[in-house]
Amino acid sequence: MTKVALRGDLLDFIAEPAWGDTGAQEARYRADHWLLIEGGRITGAQPGAQDPGEGWQREDHRGRLILPGFIDTHVHSPQIEVLASYGTELLDWLDTYTFPAERAHADLGVAAAGAERFVRALLAHGTTSAVVFPTVHKSSVDALFTAASARGMRMIAGKVLMDRHAPDGLRDDVDQAERDCIDLIGRWHGQGRNAYAVTVRFAPTSTPAQLAMAGALCKADASLYMQTHVAENRAEVQWVAALFPEARSYLDVYASAGLLHPRSVLAHGIWLDADDRAELRERGAQVAFCPSSNLFLGSGLFDWVAHAQAGAALSVASDVGGGTSLSMLRTLADGYKVQAMAGHRLTAWSALYAATRGAARALHLDTEIGSLEPGRLADVCLWDRAVGEVAERRLAVARDLHEAVFAWMLLGDERNLVASWVAGVEQFRRSAKTETTR
In the complex, the residues that contact ligand GUN under the rule CB under 6 A are 76, 90, 94, 98, 201-202, 229, 232, 293, 319, 322
The piece of 92-100, 162-170, 264-272, 386-394 that touches Zn ion (CB under 5 A) is: 264-272
Residue placing its CB nearer to ligand GUN in the complex, 67 or 94: 94
Pick one of ligand GUN, Zn ion, none as the site partner of residue 61 (Cβ within 5 to 8 A by kind): none
Residue 358 vs residues 106, 308, 322: alpha-carbon distances, Å: 35, 12, 23
Residue placing its CB nearer to ligand GUN in the complex, 99 or 428: 99
Pick one of ligand GUN, Zn ion, none as the site partner of residue 165 (Cβ within 5 to 8 A by kind): none
350 Cβ contact partners less than 8 Å away, ≥ 6 residues apart: 17, 19, 20
The beta-strand segments (E) located in 312-351 are: 313-316
Residue placing its CB nearer to ligand GUN in the complex, 326 or 405: 326
**From the CB of 93, what's the least distance to Zn ion, in Å?**
11
**From the CB of 291, what's the least distance to Zn ion, in Å?**
13
**From the CB of 220, what's the least distance to ligand GUN, in Å?**
25
The Cα–Cα gap between 290 and 315 comes to 9
**From the CB of 437, what's the least distance to ligand GUN, in Å?**
37
Residue 300 vs residues 68, 321, 394: alpha-carbon distances, Å: 30, 17, 31
- Using an 8 Å Cβ cutoff, are 334 and 317 in contact? no
Q: In terms of DSSP H, where are the helices of 38-158?
A: 90-93, 99-103, 108-124, 138-150
Instruction: Give me the residues paired with residue 422 across strands.
Output: 425
Can you tell me which of 172, 279, 319, 384 binds Zn ion, judged by CB under 5 A? 319
278 Cβ contact partners less than 8 Å away, ≥ 6 residues apart: 310
Residue placing its CB nearer to Zn ion in the complex, 267 or 372: 267
**Per CB under 5 A, 102 contacts Zn ion:** no
- Using an 8 Å Cβ cutoff, are 153 and 127 in contact? no
- Give the 3-state secondary structure percentages of the chain, helix then strand then coil, rounded to 5: 40, 25, 35
- Using an 8 Å Cβ cutoff, are 267 and 228 in contact? yes
Residue placing its CB nearer to ligand GUN in the complex, 7 or 74: 74
Number of residues that bind Zn ion (CB under 5 A): 2
Residue placing its CB nearer to Zn ion in the complex, 180 or 319: 319
The piece of 175-183, 266-274, 347-355, 401-409 that touches Zn ion (CB under 5 A) is: 266-274
Q: Which residue is nearest to ligand GUN (CB)?
A: 322
Pick one of ligand GUN, Zn ion, none as the site partner of residue 279 (Cβ within 5 to 8 A by kind): none
The Cα–Cα gap between 302 and 300 comes to 7
Amino acid residing at 423: A
The piece of 24-32, 189-197, 316-324, 366-374 that touches Zn ion (CB under 5 A) is: 316-324
Residue placing its CB nearer to ligand GUN in the complex, 225 or 421: 225
212 Cβ contact partners less than 8 Å away, ≥ 6 residues apart: 257, 258
**From the CB of 260, what's the least distance to ligand GUN, in Å?**
17
The Cα–Cα gap between 404 and 348 comes to 10
Q: ω into residue 109 within 30 of 0, thus cis?
A: no
Pick one of ligand GUN, Zn ion, none as the site partner of residue 98 (Cβ within 5 to 8 A by kind): ligand GUN
**From the CB of 6, what's the least distance to ligand GUN, in Å?**
36
The binding site for Zn ion (CB under 5 A) comprises 267, 319
